[in-house]
Structures are given as C-alpha cells and as structure tokens.
Chain A
Amino acid sequence: YGGASNALTPELKEALDKFVTSNKVVLFMKGTKLFPQCGFSNTVVQILNSLNVPYETVNILENEDIRAAMKIYSSWPTFPQLYIDGEFFGGCDITLEAYKSGQLQEVIEKAMCS
C-alpha cells in the first residue's frame, strides 16, 4: 500500500471517531446523496432513502486523505462504507443483504433509540 500506512494519523483517527459516533448513520461514498457517482454507492443511498432515516454522507472522491484513511480505519478496501452508531456495518453487498433480511431496519431502529 506504499505510503498509505501513514494515512491514518492519530489526529484524523480521533476526528473520525468523533464524527461517526456523533452521527447515528454515516455513509462514506463516491459522490453525494443527491448525485452518487458509482452504482454501489447509489444502491446504499437508495436503501437509506427508502428506510426514511436521517444520515450524513462524506464524498471520498473529494478528499484523497480521507479516502486512504478510511480504508485503514474500517479495515475495508472499497467504498461505500456504512457506519451505524459509531460502528462499521459493511459495504454495498452486506448492506443489501441485511436490507433484504430486515436486519438493517432492526440495527438502525436500535441505533435511533440509543
């Protein structure tokens, strides 16, 4: 991964900790919720929209540092990355599977009540 091991500084890690815990649902994605720039990111946006849940998005295409850092922070190599209640939930496939099984609704409802 070259210099990527330096991408997650302690300062950035702390800021990310704060950000994902102070927002119940956060999606790190390619593009924005109004203009997703990748089919996988779009899938998760559509799922969250259909669940009618408030969520924040971060466009990783606009910030190469965040993009590199998130791969390490989540130990996940691709985007989108969905965070619920401060915890990494999964990428597109996991979110889609959990949505179909009803598990995603449960996890989000629980997060909203906590």
Chain B
Amino acid sequence: MMIFFWISLVIISLAIAAFIYRVIVGPTIPDRVVALDTIGVALICMIGLISILADTSFYLDIILLLAILAFIGTVAFSKFLEKGVIIERDRNSKE
C-alpha cells in the first residue's frame, strides 16, 4: 500500500517536471501562467499523498490554502495581462 503511494509520488513529480519544461520553453506568457497554475494543482496532489505517507492529517490545511493561493495568483496575473493593472482606480472618484 505504501509502495503504491511512493510510486504515485514519483509519477506526479515527473508530471511536474513536464510542467516546468512548459514554464521554461512556453512561447508566450499565458502558457507559463497555465503551467504554473497546473504546478500548483499537482503540488496539492503531492501534499495529499505525503500526508498519507507521513500518517498525519495536519497537512490537509495546506491543500485548501494552496488551492486558494493558486486561484488568486492566476486571476491576478490574467487581469494584469488583460488590462495592464490588477487593482483599478475608480474612474469617478475625484482624486
């Protein structure tokens, strides 16, 4: 049983190596953002398997935290690509 989880950790790390290849090679910036987002998702899988292997459930908070951070990072970066700013100023305010 534990051997299976070790093997799946190795497979996920190979998949992360493929994503890192796309981050380095990727011809445009959105490619790199997509690959980084997917690296976050694969890290979530790794943390789940590691918490099985370490026989504790204290790591499971990190899963939720990492999911939220990956989503916020992707949305912020794509808003920067689309509009040039992340947090816009209000156009109607008198500043």
Q: Do A and B come from one complex?
A: no
Please report A residues at the B interface, Cβ cutoff 8 Å. Answer: none
Please report B residues at the A interface, Cβ cutoff 8 Å. Answer: none
